[in-house]
Structure 1
């Protein structure tokens, strides 16, 4: 009986660790997407500013 209880406890611990890992990965992916989107926006803004300084108007800054 004690062996079954220990196995059950171990299974619960593993499940909890797995759930925490999944949540951590989801948060990490969301942060990476956020930073990538920010990096792309900053690159686009910089390109628009470069075009404006060069006198070209073929890029438009869209928020």
Structure 2
């Protein structure tokens, strides 16, 4: 990853990619939270940071919209 990200953010990005590849569509924040062992609000905070870094994107007000930018 090009921008500085924390270990937790890197783990969240990896899980987001794995769950998306496995299911064929993006996971919910709750599904990501369960997979990484964090609360949903903590995962949402880190996803917003990843979005600021340009690593993930999402459509506001739409569920399951976080995606890794490829």
TM-score above 0.5: no
Q: Which has the higher contact order (CA 8 A, sep 6+)?
A: 2
Structure holding more helix per residue: 1
Normalising by structure 1, we get a TM-score of 0.32
Q: By percentage of residues, which structure has more strand?
A: 2
